[in-house]
Structure 1
Amino acid sequence: MRPATGLLVGQTATVDALTWIAVGSLVVWGWLLLGQGFFWRTDVRLPRGDTRVDPGSRVDPGTRAIPGSRANPGGEPVVPCEDPADLATEECWPAVAIVVPARDEAAVLPVSLPSLLAQDYPGPAEIFLVDDGSTDDTGKLARELADEHGGLPLTVDSPGEPPRGWTGKLWAVRHGMTLAEARPDMEYLLLTDADIAHEPDSLRELVRAARGSGLDLVSQMARLRVATAWERLIVPAFVYFFAQLYPFRWVNRAGARTAAAAGGCVLLRREAAERAEVPDVVRHAVIDDVALARAVKRSGGRIWLGLADRVDSVRPYPRLGELWRMVSRSAYAQLRHNPLLLVATVAGLALVYLVPPVALCAGLPAGRPALWAAGAAAWALMAVTYVPMLRYYRQTLWLAPLLPLTALLYLLMTVDSAVRHYQGRGAAWKGRTYARPGAAP
């Protein structure tokens, strides 16, 4: 009888420990629901501002445009805008340089580049596509598309291989910004990836938001492609987890320390870029968008981040392997290549996302109401917070209860990212592998 009694006590202790863990998970979800900047809401959209510019007007009275551009077909001479403080009153649209770093992007350029060329922006704007050592004739294709579609002026150039300590993308961005400096009237830089397609009024609304709200950096999280089964399972969760890590409301609060941006679409005031010394100060950053936003905010700039309505990523990730590589290439870099942070992250993901379904499935057959009730409640809160993101991506709500499975995949991707790093294959992208920041000069 004694061995059986001892076994029963051991089993009870194990179940009780699991119950307490499940209750802890439920408490965490209660805090995430109310205390993490309402990260799960999807209503943080581009602010309208108050520039008093007619959205239906192609060229407003105060506009001064580049000769021969869409906004100035008559070829009138360029007249610099007045003091920035007066621009809203005079309805004068500032000049914008659109910088597009591109490496082996021939597959997506036919969709993305025409959307930039066709921007219906009332003021002066010019595109600088920087060919970052492509092997698929990206630069040649860009010129052909510009000849075919017309629209905004396009300059295609290449900076050569990046120096040691620079990522290829940031070296290309720096080169594009240098090209833009030849136009002294350029007030804003639109940094956008080669796989991002913009609605015709995208640039206009970005500038309107920046000028009307006094922002130095305006960034939109592009709506990623969701077409295949794997994309439906993983992509909405990618944005959900990003917002959980960097709640948009905290990012947009002037006094908060949280800073982030979405690299696919960043409108940056040129003066703020110079003050923050970007991109030089973040030249080795693999997660360059977050590093850029931190540098701008640290230098006193006002930043804003939200979900996009007019900006879409056209890059397909049809198979799990492609999505896996997208996440794992930078996941360990997000953890600063710190093994302790890796352990804490794995434990945190397990507690928050895996414990609830385990508690429910273990508690029901064991007849432990406290255990399965805590697991069920935590799982329900998890699913409820995921619903707004699924609606934003126009996906079935039946995906909400599958979030633990998606979180498990992300946990494995994060561990794989660390393994690749210690094997010397970390942060690999399109033929380049980058060292951790501490190893860069």
Structure 2
Amino acid sequence: MSAVAGIAVGSLVVWVWLLLGQGFFWRTDQRLPRRAEPVRWPSVAVVVPARDEADVLPVSLPSLLAQDYPGDAEVFLVDDCSTDGTGDRARALSVRFGGLPLTVVTPGEPEPGWTGKLWAVRHGIALARRRKPEFLLLTDADIAHEPDSLRELVAAAGDAGAGGFDMVSQMARLRVTSPWERLVVPAFVYFFGQLYPFRRVNRAGSRTAAAAGGCVLLRTGAAERARIPESIRQAVIDDESLARAVQRSGGRIWLGLAERVDSVRPCPRLADLWQMISRSAYAQLRYNPLLLAGTVVGLGLVYGAPPATLAAGLLSGDAAAAWAGGAAWAVMAGTYMPMLGYYRQSLWLAPLLPFTAVLYLLMTVDSAVRHHRGRGAAWKGRTYARPETAPDS
């Protein structure tokens, strides 16, 4: 067997293992659990951190104010030192559309040791706790909810004393309109599921923890036990840090794909998507150069090797390399098709996954370069040169 054929066979073995042994990550059937509606609907405080979100609020905020929720609910929007009139736009929308009560606050610049979003969440939760809500819904300012979204989330959480969840998180359906969004966005969720298989996250007693920060329903008691958000105040990837903190404090978590929760933030250009992903990609690797090197090699072998060995085998007449490389590429594309279906995209995009993986690889390397140049995670005018992930204890 030639060296090229050996690489191709190795890649095929990896893909067969990913297909069958990585928590069936490629399936898209993890949706909100269906439970009977509670006899008494618990009170909910909706906390929305917002920094320079005046453009998207007219689409997202009215959807929150219009929630058809049978219990008590209130919205707290935290204007994180916006310069575009976010707070005023929110107040105007509340007057125009009515619905749930809205409180808008501005806490000022974050103290040292806090990321801007978590500083805003801290003030929103502190304000909400005065009402003593039983649940907190943490949702980003670019997330639009169908009218029954809150009702469905609370029903899915169930009774904490009867096998319910302390945290229910939905991966909002991201916008997919431009050609670059079609190429990159479904792959983003696919790669996320590969790292954190939803089925494993949702299994009782699992050690795999993850969340989608755009839509998180959290029991207030669980937040207090996990010391949220103080315990994760420096986390750049705050959703995963939140999930770990809740899990470590004894809480049970659930994560799935959304059907009635959508992101309305447009990222039509490659530059927009590049910024969104690269700002936290190196944080995902815990700022570890060895993990970065391993990721580069791993992505190259797993995603780059199948088409490369297929082409090399066909050109050199190496049947084993061509067959194994082609089979690995076919398995790869097959695992991507369910996600493309979820996003209502053409299945012909599936064979392009190796190209998308190379883009993600370049974004990750760029994230590391920015960090080592002192620019770190930059977002909306703030730069966290050496941010830290959530502590292990």
TM-score by length of 1: 0.87
Q: What is the letter of the counterpart of residue 35 of structure 1?
A: G
Q: 2:235·2:388 contact (CA, 8 Å) conserved in 1? A: no
The CA distance in 2 between the partners of 1:439 and 1:216, in whole Å, is 22
SS at match of 1:433: strand
Work out the percentage of aligned pairs sharing the same amino acid: 75
Q: Is the aligned partner of 1:179 residue 2:127?
A: yes
Match of 2:105 among 157, 167, 191: 157
Residue 438 of structure 1 and its aligned partner are, at CA, apart by 5.0
Q: How does 1:292-331 map to 2 (within 5 A)?
A: 292-331=242-281
Q: Is the CA contact (8 Å cut-off) linking 2:79 and 2:106 kept in structure 1? A: yes
* Alpha-carbon distance in 2 for matches of 1:266, 1:214: 15
| Range with greater deviation from structure 2 (364-373 or 193-202) | 364-373
Deviation at 1:359, TM superposition (A): 0.3
Q: CA RMSD in A?
A: 1.3
Preserved contact between residue 241 and residue 389 of structure 2 (Cα < 8 Å): no
Equivalent positions of 1:221-370 (< 5 A) are 221-370=171-320
What's 2:71 paired with?
123
Report the Cα distance in structure 2 between the residues aligned to 1:248 and 1:290, rounded to whole angstroms.
Answer: 13
Q: Secondary structure at the match of 1:420?
A: helix
Please name the residue that 1:84 is paired with. none
Q: Secondary structure at the match of 1:421?
A: helix
Map residues 366-385 of structure 1 onto 2, 5 A cutoff. Answer: 366-385=316-335
State the secondary structure of the residue aligned to 1:301: coil
- Structure 1 partner of 2:33: 47
SS at match of 2:246: helix
**Structure with the larger RCO, 1 or 2 (CA within 8 Å, 6+ apart):** 2
Aligned position for 1:391: 341
Distance in 2 between residues matched to 1:439 and 1:45, nearest whole Å = 28
Whether the 8 Å CA contact 2:236–2:389 is kept in 1: the answer is no
Secondary structure of the equivalent of 1:425? coil
- Cα shift at 1:439: 10
Count of aligned pairs = 388
The runs of 5 or more residues in structure 2 that have no matched partner are none
* SS at 1:128 equivalent: strand
Instruction: Give, as a single letter, the amino acid of the residue that structure 1 aligns with 2:384.
Output: Y
| Secondary structure of 1:225 counterpart | coil
- Report the AA paired with residue 344 of structure 1: G
* Contact 2:286–2:389 (8 Å) recurs in 1: no
SS class of match (1:175): helix
Offset of 1:424 from its aligned partner?
A: 1.1
Runs of 5+ in structure 1 lacking a partner? 1-14, 54-87
Structure 1 contact 333–436 (Cα < 8 Å) conserved: no
Q: Which residue of 2 aligns with 1:29?
A: 15
User: Which of 190, 194, 197 is equivalent to 2:144?
Assistant: 197
What's the CA shift for 1:255?
Answer: 1.4
**C-alpha distance in structure 1 between counterparts of 2:72 and 2:347, whole Å:** 44
Give the Cα separation in 1 of the matches to 2:302 and 2:376: 27
Task: Specify whether residues 293 and 439 from structure 1 end up closer, same or farther in structure 2 by C-alpha distance, changes over 3 A only.
Answer: closer
Task: Report the counterpart of residue 7 of structure 1 in structure 2.
Answer: none
Structure 1: how far apart are the matches of 2:53 and 2:378?
17
Q: CA–CA distance in 2 between the matches of 1:224 and 1:437?
A: 26
State the one-letter code of the partner of 1:97: A
Partner of 1:140: 88
SS at the partner of 1:381?
helix
CA distance in structure 2 between the aligned counterparts of 1:326 and 1:191, rounded to whole angstroms: 20
Q: CA deviation at 1:436?
A: 3.0
TM-score (norm 2): 0.97
Q: CA, structure 1 residues 385+299, in 2 after alignment: closer, same or farther (shift >3 Å)?
A: same
In 1: Cα distance, 2:338 partner to 2:4 partner: 30
- Say if 2:3 is the partner of 1:17: yes
What SS class does the counterpart of residue 158 from structure 2 fall into? helix
Q: For residues 357 and 438 of structure 1, what CA distance do their matches in structure 2 show?
A: 37
SS at match of 1:101: strand
d(CA) in 1 for partners of 2:16, 2:65: 47
Whether the 8 Å CA contact 1:164–1:440 is kept in 2: the answer is: no
